[in-house]
Amino acid sequence: MKKTTRMAIAAVAGLGSLLAVPAVAHHSTAMFDWGVPTEMKGVTVERWVWTNPHTFLYVKDAAGNRWAFEGMSPNHLSRSGWSKRSLTPGEKIDLTYYKLRDGRHGGFNVTVKRASGETLQQLPVRM
């Protein structure tokens, strides 16, 4: 192969990589009863997992049942005032969530209300 042909192929490949648009990863929220918030009061934080692509909140209710809640990404939540230190094990909170459709103990976390009265939002507030 001639040197000019190799250079042309390399140039086309380089241009193609510059023009490529990265695909945005997304998964369905069909497993949640989206848009229908359910409230839980007085649960105890067991773990707060600050990880990509989604955060996870694990709590225990008064009856001793363990619950797991998926949340938005750390990138999104940090812009809404959250951090990896927002919740600590043993902390009592109230929360709202969208239930899992299959009835398991868990769902998608919408809000967390701390004992101080501060409310942390997972999703943008619509006016």
The predicted pLDDT at position 118 comes to 94
pLDDT at 17 over 60: no
Q: Provide the CATH number for the domain around residue 58.
A: 2.40.50.140
**Model confidence over 86-101: pLDDT tens digits?**
999 999 999 999 999 9
pTM of the model: 0.75
Other beta carbons within 10 angstroms of residue 17's beta carbon come to 8
**69 occurs within a structural domain:** yes
In a domain, 3, yes or no: no
Answer yes or no: is 99 within a domain.
yes
Is 42 part of any domain?
yes
Mean pLDDT for all residues in the chain:
84
Is 10 inside a domain boundary? no
- Asked whether the beta carbons of 111 and 95 are under 8 A apart, the reply is yes
pLDDT of residue 50: 97
Return the pLDDT at 10. Answer: 55
**Residues of the domain holding 62:** 27-121
Domain count for the chain, please give it.
1
Q: Where are the alpha helices (DSSP H) in 20-122?
A: 74-78
Inside any domain, residue 117: yes
Share of the chain above pLDDT 90, in %: 66
In tens, the pLDDT along 44-80 reads: 999 999 999 999 999 999 999 999 999 999 999 999 8
Confidence at residue 87, expressed as pLDDT on a 0 to 100 scale:
97
Is 126 inside a domain boundary? no
Q: Please check the confidence at residue 8 and state whether its pLDDT lies above 60.
A: no
15 or 117, which is more confident: 117
Cα 127 from chain centre: 22
- 2 within some domain: no
Tokens representing 91?
Answer: 């902390």
